[in-house]
Structure 1
Amino acid sequence: MNATKNNIGKDKTTRRTATTKVTSTTSSLRKLDSKTKDFKRNSERQTEICTDSTASNGFLKCRFLPKQEEVEIFRDCKDIIKTERDFYKSLSKFSSQYNLNPMQTRDFDYPYNIALAIWDIESKIKRQNEDWSNFKLIIENEKIQFAKEETFDVGTTLFFIPVLPLFQMLSNKKLKRNAELLLCVYCYLYKVADVPYYRQEDSYLYWIYDMHEEWLTQDDEDEEDLREYRREFLISKSIGNKIEQKISNIQNLKFFDERLVSFKIRNEFDRDCQKIASDAFALYLEYPTKTIFTHKPSSEENPYEDDYSNTAIGMEKYISFVADTKGSLYRNIEESINAEFNEYGSIEEPTIYTPINGRSIITADFDFENRFFNLIENLHDLLTT
């Protein structure tokens, strides 16, 4: 997973909107290893239904039905009557929306009747060339219903925000006003957008750093590269703690507008700082409470699938503050992350579930995500080049 040398953030190409997917045409901060470039949204359908292996005679006359033992997922629902009522009501709306004629399954016992209905509607919607993987059963307002699923394509990317460059800017008198303006941006990302911080013990990167530090303490060699490695660890801790104290100060948000208005542009670097700060401030004003995890896939929204968090790279793992994106320490951390990510089959992406209620479905709005990830790319580019 080598660092890309593309001029990130300079590409003004916007993400294009597709029917069920929003894709990114902008290059990313850190590309994953080539083995991970083929990651796709987990498209595993609702419990797959197979024909009964014991069926032998009359197969040309009979319809093959799903196995009873393959529908255990519905047994967790305690209120069977309510579950059936919600399901069939949503199935009716779903069928009407897509002009389908579902088979009658109410006479079968629960939960087989629901599994059979899903198996039937899946077969029929496929004949219309619809992508069944874009439809899910969700729970909304304590009701089970069908929904259209749309995701925002983040690519195979690590959206890591380095804090060491900001610390260096704060120590430079000539760049102090730039640094104060970017402090507002960092504060927004930390306090409002809820980007994980690598010095917080519950963060993914804290565990990665801690693991590498433990390895380092077990190495008795005193070579020059190891001494430099230890020095980078000390810097990552001390500076990380100092910067976290600064960006956690809510006063940075209160002075955001004032610092933007009074900021003087003298060169191209100032212009880039002002542009990034303006973009972040606009996000803050338009989405004052929205976090980057607002549309994170969850088991509550998609209760009838396997534990997705165990099979996909979580959003909190590829979005984070980090000490730096240069040096031997980061290179080793990057390799560890890449090795772990290669064990997964998919990646969590911002996801919006739109309930199917008979009305026309409007394409999901990923305006926040589009602008947020562009902001991170441009910020990273500014701080590293």
Structure 2
Amino acid sequence: MTYATTYRIGYNQITPRAQTKAIAPPVKRLRQLDAENQRCKRSQKRQATERTDSNVANGFLKTLFLPKLKETETVQACNETGEIEKDFYQSLYRLAEHYGLNPMQTKSFEFPYNMALSLWDTEEQLKNRVKEWEAIELIQDRKRTYFTSEERYSTGATLYYIPVLPLYRLLRNPNRKQASLLLLSVCSYLYHIADIPYYRQESSYLYWMYDMVADWVLSDDENEDTAQFMNEYKQSEWVGEFMEKKIFNHHNLSLFSQRLQHFESRDKFDQDCYCLAKEAFELSSKFPNQSVFGNAKPNGEAEEDDMENIIGMEKYVSFCANTKGYLFDTLFDSVNNELQEYGQMEEPIIIKRFDGSNVTDKTLEFEKRLFALIEELTYLLNNY
């Protein structure tokens, strides 16, 4: 499937719209921020193969080289090694049981190498078995030593902006009545249950951003794009007000199941809308009270004083007017420049403690399915 153009956000100034090229890029789903926190990727290439001389001892190939010891302050700081090791292995086995790991037997090695080796082995297994696993940490708290594990869904510095103008046009098409009502139910679920912000709500981030770019354009010297920008801006206001009333209507939720049952697919677009709506309905049934912000946490160490320097999820997850045109291009540049000033961003994160207390059974299944749903919905609306 061809996806919507992915735009990255960088340190660029707001510029006039570029001239259309002869060949347009493929349309992808969502725009991405220019600055993305990326992990180092492991190389897919293997070490070059070389033959050894015939007189080299074959026993060399059977030698097992253990990983290099990484000394940590936590391990070296405490002299009560016996108690530390006991807590360490108890917590390790709880973690291994939770994730279904098979810990390496390291007790025969001396302290602290045994613990360093176990840490290395556990991290390697988690990398391969738990897709959303991010990090484990060894904590020493009030004479206790235990593991914490962080699971994170990476949003990839992407703007998850859902356009309502294409849905408005779809609702006006008599040949797409069933499909438009299904997508309206999906948007009502996202609005009421998943708690996605709406850009015409004065408390939303995009409400302020739309006003800001309008003031910026009006204060600048008038040019050939000013009239088009203002037409799109006025359209975003009245379409936004109209569609919020439609989406807010709770009948869209009460009739969701009925609309699915009586839906008749006539082409691929209808089938795609049905599959999307079915996924949204199943998500709402399995997670009836789950919000997109339920597990939002800063994706790095942050003190209370740092909270103003963190991109909240409401800044990059929202309904918007449209994702095409001069208005959105200008808005996108403004959001880009605004978010470049922040040092961290919120993402769905779960911290699990293995200190003997009950381990949370939370997972990031909801977030994985929700963000995939938003991406698919945006794609369908953008390509209607």
The TM-score range, normalised by the shorter chain, is 0.5 to 0.7
Who is 1:79 aligned against? Answer: none
Superposed, 1:21-170 pairs within 5 Å as 29-33=30-34, 36-39=35-38, 96-98=90-92, 128-129=119-120, 134-135=136-137, 147-170=148-171
Shift of 1:156: 2.1
The 8 Å contact of residues 185 and 280 in structure 1, kept in 2 or not, is answered as yes
Please, what TM-score do these two structures have when normalized by structure 2?
0.66
Q: Following TM superposition, by how much is the alpha carbon of 1:366 offset from its aligned partner in structure 2, in angstroms?
A: 1.4
Task: Look up the equivalent residue of 2:303 and give its one-letter code.
Answer: D
What is the letter of the counterpart of residue 3 of structure 2?
Answer: N
The count of aligned residue pairs is 290
Residue pair 1:136, 1:148 contacting (<8 A) in 2 also: no
In structure 2, the residue matched to 1:322 is 320
Tell me if the contact between 1:90 and 1:146 (Cα under 8 Å) persists in the aligned partners: no
Aligned-partner Cα distance in 2 for 1:295–1:153: 12
- Counterpart code for 2:273: C
Equivalent residues of 2:199, 2:318 under 8 A apart: yes
1:253–1:168 CA distance, 2 compared to 1 (3 A): same
- The CA deviation string for residues 228-276 of structure 1, in whole angstroms up to 9 with x for no partner, is 1001110111100111111111111000001111111111111011111
Matched, 1:262 2:262: yes
| Counterparts of residues 303-382 of structure 1 (less than 5 Å) | 305-307=302-304, 308-358=306-356, 365-382=363-380
Is it true that 1:213 corresponds to 2:207 in the alignment?
no
Amino acid paired to 2:317: I
Q: Name the structure 2 match of 1:7.
A: 3
In the alignment, is the contact (CA less than 8 A) between 1:199 and 1:240 conserved in 2?
A: yes
Q: In 1, Cα distance between the equivalents of 2:243 and 2:85?
A: 52
Q: Which residue of 2 aligns with 1:46?
A: none
The one-letter amino acid of 1:151's match is R
Instruction: After TM superposition, give the deviation of residue 8 of structure 1 in Å.
Output: 5.5
Q: Matched residues in 1 for 2:292 and 2:380: separation?
A: 21
The answer to whether the Cα contact below 8 Å between 2:298 and 2:347 also exists between their aligned partners in 1 is: no
After superposition, the C-alpha distances for 1:339-382 in whole angstroms (9 at most, x for unaligned) are 12222333321011112233897996211111111111111111
Matches of 1:339 and 1:127, distance apart in 2:
44
Q: State the shift of 1:169 in Å.
A: 0.9
In the TM superposition, what is the alpha-carbon distance from 1:98 to its structure 2 partner? 3.8
Alpha carbons of 1:220 and 1:181: their partners in 2 closer, same or farther (altered >3 Å)? same
Query: What residue in structure 2 maps to residue 176 of structure 1?
Result: 177
Change (3 A) 1:135 1:7: same
Partner of 1:23: none
> For the Cα contact (< 8 Å) 1:8–1:377, is it kept in 2?
no
Q: Tell me, what secondary structure is at the counterpart of 1:181? A: helix
SS in 1 for 2:351: strand
Give the direction of change, closer, same or farther, for the CA distance of 1:90–1:253 in structure 2 (3 Å limit).
farther
- Deviation track 1:270-326 (CA, whole Å, cap 9, x = no partner) reads 101111111101101111110111111179xx9x84135333322111111010000
Q: TM-score w.r.t. structure 1 length?
A: 0.66
Tell me the equivalent position of 1:103.
none
Q: Can you list the C-alpha shifts for 1:23-78, whole angstroms capped at 9, x where unaligned?
A: xxxx8611222xx134569xxxxxxx99xxxxxxxxxxxx889xxxxxxxxxxxxx
3-state SS of the aligned residue for 1:352?
Answer: strand
Partner of 2:239: 239
Counterpart contact for 2:3–2:29, Cα < 8 Å: no
Partner of 1:230 in structure 2? 230
Once residues 319 and 205 of structure 2 are traced to their aligned partners in structure 1, the CA distance between those partners, rounded to angstroms, is 11
> Cα distance, 1:128 vs. partner?
3.6
* Contact 1:196-1:321 at 8 Å conserved across structures: yes
Q: CA deviation at 1:155?
A: 1.0
The one-letter amino acid paired with 2:137 is: F
Tell me the amino acid that sits aligned with residue 296 of structure 2.
K
> Does structure 1 retain, via aligned residues, the 8 Å contact 2:91–2:147?
no
Distance 1:214 1:94, change over 3 A: farther
Separation (CA, whole Å) in 2 of partners of 1:134 and 1:159: 29
Paired with 2:136 and 2:77, the residues of 1 have a C-alpha distance of 25
Please say if residues 39 and 156 of structure 1, whose CA atoms lie closer than 8 Å, have aligned partners that are also in contact: no
Distance, in Å, in 1 between the alignment partners of 2:188 and 2:356 is: 42
Q: Retained in 1: the 8 A contact 2:279–2:373?
A: yes
Which residue identity is paired with 2:369?
R
SS in 1 for 2:322: coil
Residue matched to 2:252: 252
> How high is the sequence identity, in percent, across the aligned residues?
37
Structure 2 counterpart of 1:329, which letter? L
User: For 2:333, what is the secondary structure of its paired residue?
Assistant: helix
CA distance in 1, matches of 2:374, 2:368: 10
Q: CA deviation at 1:224?
A: 3.4
1:22 — aligned with what?
none
Conserved in 2, the CA contact under 8 Å of 1:160 and 1:322?
yes
CA distance 1:291–1:126, shift in 2 (3 Å):
farther
- How far residue 7 of structure 1 moved from its aligned partner, in angstroms, is 1.6
**Structure-2 change in CA distance of 1:379 and 1:91 (3 Å):** farther
Unaligned 5+ segments in structure 2 are 6-27, 41-71, 94-111, 124-133, 140-145
Structure showing greater radius of gyration is 2
Residue equivalent to 2:274: 274
